[in-house]
């Protein structure tokens, strides 16, 4: 655990099962991780899968303050995914829950387990649009324009996340 909490942006997605319930539970569980607090959540979007099949996704981004290290946060996110029934049968498989660290403060991380900033976020409207809702100054208009053809649609304002079902950080 570090002394100063880092400002972290976490992408949330799900396209199997009770998608919105899974995202709310994930937010609640994330907020219960040691030294971690969910500060804000973007509006909720729907999007067609990118480079994959399956039903449409629900997507959002959470702004989090955490004293966890990047590696510890990654482990916590993977445990939350697993508790939601996440399976990884193949790359880009449909999923009950997907949690990705997009930015971890201003850190640049490149290890076998974790790459931050997220290596494919600039290619994905379902990440950039909700991220731009939270921190428009960090998402260039040209970057958003480059993914404008991807199917993404607003489902609910940021209030969708209120009253999330309680959960534990595993």
Q: Following CA atoms 42, 60, 147, 51 in sequence, which dihedral angle do they give, to the nearest 10 degrees? A: 180
127: tokens are 């990440």
Annotated active-site residue in 19, 24, 95, 129 = 95
Annotated active-site residue in 86, 124, 129, 133 = 86
Annotated active-site residue in 100, 124, 129, 133 = 100
Whether the CB-CB separation of 127 and 59 falls below 8 Å is answered with: yes
Gyration radius (Cα) of the chain, Å: 15
How many Cα atoms are found within 13 Å in the side-chain-facing hemisphere of 28? 17
Annotated active-site residue in 7, 24, 56, 98 = 98
Is there a catalytic annotation at residue 86? yes
Is there a catalytic annotation at residue 133? no
Q: Which residues are catalytic?
A: 86, 95, 98, 100
């Amino acid at each position: 655990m570090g002394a100063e909490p880092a400002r972290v942006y976490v992408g949330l997605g799900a396209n199997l099962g009770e998608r919105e319930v899974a995202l709310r539970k994930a937010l609640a569980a994330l907020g219960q991780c040691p030294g971690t607090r969910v500060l804000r959540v973007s509006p909720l979007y729907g999007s067609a899968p990118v480079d994959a099949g399956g039903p449409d996704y629900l997507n959002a981004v959470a702004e989090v303050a955490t004293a966890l290290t990047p590696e510890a946060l990654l482990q916590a996110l993977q445990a939350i995914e697993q508790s939601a029934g996440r399976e990884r049968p193949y790359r880009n498989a449909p999923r009950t829950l997907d949690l990705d660290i997009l930015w971890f403060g201003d850190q640049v991380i490149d290890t076998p387990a974790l790459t931050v900033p997220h290596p494919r976020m600039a290619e994905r409207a379902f990440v950039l649009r909700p991220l731009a809702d939270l921190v428009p100054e960090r998402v260039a208009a040209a970057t958003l324009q480059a993914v404008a053809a991807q199917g993404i649609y607003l489902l609910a304002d940021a209030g969708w996340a209120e009253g999330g079902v309680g959960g534990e950080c595993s």
